[in-house]
Amino acid sequence: MIALLVVACEVAFWVLLAAGLALRYVARKPRIGAAVLLCEPVLEVVLLVVTAVDLKNGAEPDWKHGLAAVYIGFTVGLGHHTIKKVDAWVAHRWFGGPPPVKPPTYGTARAIHEWRTAARWILASVIALGLLQAAIWYVGPDGAVGSLRSWQQKMGLVIGINLIIAGSYTLFPKKAPEGAVTEREPADRP
């Protein structure tokens, strides 16, 4: 049941995003569209409550409970940025908005971009780690928490990979070709 709920939450995320953007741009009701988008955190709350109730009712923790914690962490850590990127793309593609800002390609600006990206992924992983640890404490020392610990190891790996990627752009910055104009990181960039 938990795995199906995770899938349902993911589908509902994209449905709410599409509905919110349609209300914003097609129906020209930006406030109602924003209200629909603000309903998205309710999905994570429902998933969290259902997962906690499932564990409380004696379900043995398995990969599905870990997946629920990871899904919530990644939605919290990456959801806002995803919504902003999709909004910018929709505004440009169909409604005459400015083109989305492309990430810088070279030098320090690219390294800063990579560190910001890594920070979002690390935040998502840390939230997932916290939820997984809370589930481990909730189940108690007598429960079979091996699958939850396995998810924690995977989140540690995600953090490590993001640190390596961002660090590589800092230590080995890509240099602009001769005569190319280098980009600067825009001040208003999220």
Render pLDDT for 33-52 as a digit per residue (tens, 0 to 9): 999 999 999 999 999 999 99
How many CB atoms are closer than 10 A to CB 141?
7
CA angle 131, 4, 6 (to 5 degrees): 35
Return the SS3 of 15: helix
Q: Using CA atoms, how far apart are residues 168 and 190, in angstroms rounded to an integer?
A: 22
What pLDDT score does 181 carry? 64
Answer whether residue 166 shows pLDDT above 90. yes
Long-range contact pairs involving 117-123 (C-beta distance under 8 Å, separation at least 24): 117/162, 117/166, 118/162, 118/163, 118/165, 118/166, 120/77, 120/78, 120/81, 121/77, 121/78, 121/158, 121/159, 121/162, 122/77, 122/158, 122/159, 122/162, 122/163, 123/76, 123/77
Q: What is the pLDDT of residues 79-124, one digit of tens each?
A: 999 999 999 999 999 999 999 999 999 999 999 999 999 999 999 9
φ and ψ at 182, to 5 degrees? -85, 150
What pLDDT score does 9 carry? 96
What pLDDT score does 168 carry? 97
Domains of the chain, by residue range, sit at 2-171
CA-to-CA separations, 35 to 29, 31, 83, 95, 110, in angstroms, rounded: 10, 6, 13, 20, 34
| pLDDT band for position 182 (cuts 50, 70, 90) | low
| pLDDT band for position 140 (cuts 50, 70, 90) | confident
